[in-house]
């Protein structure tokens, strides 16, 4: 249940003034460095900073993303760090912060607390170069879904995900079959990346490790494999963009760890929406936090019998670190390869992802908000 308090209304003039001031600087914001962390079943910690003349915020909360009108007041504060109780256990909550200067910012948890997959994230909240923000609750990225629990199904049901795109190969799906909410009317789309190719070669981890490479060679192979994703798998990535253009949202895409194939697509999507490369690389590196820094997590224990972990058991500690790391250098190398081969990212997305400039504007209108 949401806590309700009596709050004074913010004058419309303040909102208009904030909008007028924002026109002088496209990237202007009154509330910056906004972050939300879930610290209990119904407890959240919000942190942020103020700019300009902002001195306080009104915080409201609700379960409907991108809908401040449906949220309820929970606090009014001049503090820049606050712990709140909102929502019910097992419920996704979205917070709206309204500055005393008029601006409203939305935030929620990025990492979703699922029991059966450790790297399930929302791409919302990232700022674009033109001062917009990626909408919360529209695009999700994840690792394997095989081990989702009934509690996870209940949590995910409320997200309303309409499409799930699976980047795993046929062999991977046979080892760890795709699972989803029982009875859900969600489109499950297989877009395999990796596995045997027409020329007989295999772009798999097993193939990369077949010659027991040195750490230097393994790092080079990892870097090259990311380039393969961007170029050889562009049709699969283009198919996900087509789903978004068809407004099949909210949408989830995933691979096994939610790191490599998923990481490359996340970069392509965020860049298309106008998110700066620095932010894109930071989002990619979050896998290190959510997947690698919790080795004792019960989810990781469930994954311990997977073919992936059986393979890792035969590697040296240094080889495992290279293979498992979400090293921004892998992704950055791919972006530079795109620049070299196509002259710019825009040329690449037009030719390889089949996204026209008009398509980009359509996607931004659906997936970003000012």
Whether residue 4 lies inside any domain: the answer is no
Q: Report the pLDDT averaged over residues 69-75.
A: 96
Q: Are residues 187 and 142 in the same domain?
A: yes
Q: Which of 8-22, 40-54, 215-229, 254-268 has the lowest mean pLDDT?
A: 8-22
**How many Å apart are CA 360 and CA 337, to the nearest integer?**
22
Are residues 99 and 192 part of one domain? Answer: no
How confident is residue 15, by pLDDT bands cut at 50, 70 and 90?
very low
202 and 131, same structural domain? yes
Give the 3-state secondary structure of residue 290.
helix
**Could you give the CA distance from residue 83 to residue 44 in angstroms, rounded to a whole number?**
6
Q: What percent of the chain has pLDDT over 70?
A: 82
202 CB-contact burial (10 Å; exposed 0-12 / middle 13-18 / buried 19+): middle
Between 311 and 151, the higher pLDDT residue? 151
The CATH number linked to 265 is 3.90.190.10
Q: Which of 253, 251, 281, 277 is nearest to 128 (CA)?
A: 277
Taking 3-state DSSP, the helix, strand and coil percentages for the chain, each rounded to the nearest 5, stand at: 40, 20, 40
CATH number of the domain encompassing residue 72:
2.60.40.10
Task: Look up the domain containing 285 and give its range.
Answer: 121-369
Residue 5 placed within a domain? no
Looking at 87, 108, 129, the residue that finishes a domain is 108
Are residues 199 and 223 located together in one domain of the fold? yes
* Alpha carbons within 13 A on the beta-carbon side of 101: 18
For residue 145, what are the contacts with CB-CB under 8 A and spacing of at least 6?
116, 117, 164, 178, 179, 180, 254
| C-alpha closest to that of 153 among 176, 184, 193 | 184
Residue 11 sits at the vertex; the CA angle it makes with 9 and 17, to the nearest 5 degrees, is: 140
**Over 80: is that where the pLDDT of 292 sits?**
no
Shared domain for 166 and 92, answered yes or no, is no
Q: How many CA atoms lie within 13 A of 161 on its CB side?
A: 22
Distance CA(58)–CA(99), nearest Å, equals 7
Which of 108, 139, 163 is the last residue before a domain boundary? 108
The more confident residue out of 204 and 81 is 81
Verify that 152 and 298 share a domain, yes or no. yes
Taking the C-alpha atoms of residue 85 and residue 38, their distance in angstroms, rounded to an integer, is 10
Provide the number of structural domains found in the chain. 2
User: Is residue 120's pLDDT more than 60?
Assistant: yes
Pair (141, 76) in one structural domain: no
Sheet holding 43-50, edge to edge: 31-38, 43-50, 81-85
- Do 71 and 21 belong together in one domain? yes
Decide if pLDDT at 26 tops 70. no
Q: Token pair of 170, please?
A: 């046929």
User: To the nearest whole number, what is the mean pLDDT of the chain?
Assistant: 86
Q: What is the pLDDT of residues 260-281, one digit of tens each?
A: 999 999 999 999 999 999 999 9
Whether residues 313 and 365 share a domain: the answer is yes
What average pLDDT does range 87-106 have in this prediction?
A: 95
Backbone angles phi, psi at 98, to 5 degrees: -110, 115
Kindly state the tokens that stand for 248.
């099949």
Give the mean model confidence (pLDDT) for residues 27-51.
Answer: 91
Quick one: tokens of 159? Answer: 């997200």
Q: What are phi and psi of 130, to 5 degrees?
A: -100, 15
Record the tokens describing residue 55, joined without a space.
């001195």
Mean of pLDDT values over 68-78: 96
The average pLDDT across 115-126 equals: 96
In a domain? residue 6: no
Asked which of 59, 77, 108 is the last residue of a domain, the reply is: 108
Distance CA 323, CA 259 (A): 11
Per the domain annotation, does 363 fall within a domain? yes
Residues 230 and 101 in one domain: no
Query: In this structure, is residue 114 part of a structural domain?
Result: no
Distances from the Cα of 309 to the Cα of 85, 167, 305, angstroms: 38, 19, 6
> Looking at the domain assignment, is residue 7 inside a domain?
no
* Interval 195-226: pLDDT, tens: 655 444 444 555 555 566 788 888 888 888 88
Q: Is residue 115 part of a domain?
A: no
Give the model confidence (pLDDT) of 300-332 as tens digits: 555 544 555 556 666 777 887 887 889 999 999
Q: Has residue 113 been placed in a domain?
A: no
Assess whether 144 and 282 both reside in one domain. yes
- CA–CA separation, 324 and 257 (whole Å): 9
Verify that 55 and 29 share a domain, yes or no: yes
């Amino acid at each position: 249940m949401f806590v309700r308090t009596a709050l004074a209304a913010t004058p419309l003039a303040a909102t208009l003034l904030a909008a007028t001031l924002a026109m002088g600087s496209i990237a202007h914001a009154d509330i910056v460095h906004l972050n939300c962390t879930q610290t209990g079943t119904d407890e959240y910690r919000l942190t942020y900073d103020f700019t300009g003349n902002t001195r306080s915020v009104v915080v409201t909360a609700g379960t409907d993303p991108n809908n401040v009108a449906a949220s309820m007041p929970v606090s009014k504060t001049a503090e820049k760090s606050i712990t709140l109780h909102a929502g019910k256990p097992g419920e996704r909550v979205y917070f709206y912060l309204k500055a005393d200067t008029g601006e409203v910012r939305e935030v929620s948890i990025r990492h979703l607390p699922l029991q059966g997959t450790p790297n399930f994230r929302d791409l919302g909240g990232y700022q674009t170069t033109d001062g917009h923000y990626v909408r919360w609750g529209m695009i999700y990225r994840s690792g394997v879904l095989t081990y989702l629990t009934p509690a996870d199904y209940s949590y995910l049901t409320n997200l309303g995900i309409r499409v799930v795109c699976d980047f795993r190969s046929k062999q991977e799906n046979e080892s760890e079959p795709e699972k989803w909410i029982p009875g859900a009317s969600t489109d499950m789309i297989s877009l395999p990346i990796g596995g045997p190719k027409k020329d007989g070669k295999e772009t798999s981890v097993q193939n990369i490790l077949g010659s027991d490479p040195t750490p230097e060679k393994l790092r080079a192979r990892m870097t090259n494999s990311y380039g393969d994703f961007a170029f050889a798998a562009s049709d699969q990535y283009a198919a996900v963009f087509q789903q978004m253009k068809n407004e099949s949202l909210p949408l989830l895409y995933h691979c096994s760890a939610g790191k490599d194939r998923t990481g490359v697509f996340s970069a392509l999507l965020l860049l298309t929406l106008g998110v700066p490369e620095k932010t894109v690389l930071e989002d990619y590196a979050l896998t290190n936090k959510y997947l690698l820094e919790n080795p004792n997590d019960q989810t990781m224990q469930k994954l311990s019998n997977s073919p992936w972990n059986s393979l890792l058991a035969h590697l040296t500690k240094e080889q495992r670190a290279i293979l498992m790391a979400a090293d921004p250098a892998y992704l950055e190398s791919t972006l530079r390869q795109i620049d070299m081969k196509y002259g710019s990212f825009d040329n690449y997305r037009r030719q390889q992802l089949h996204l026209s400039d008009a398509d980009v504007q359509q996607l931004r209108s659906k997936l970003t908000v000012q």
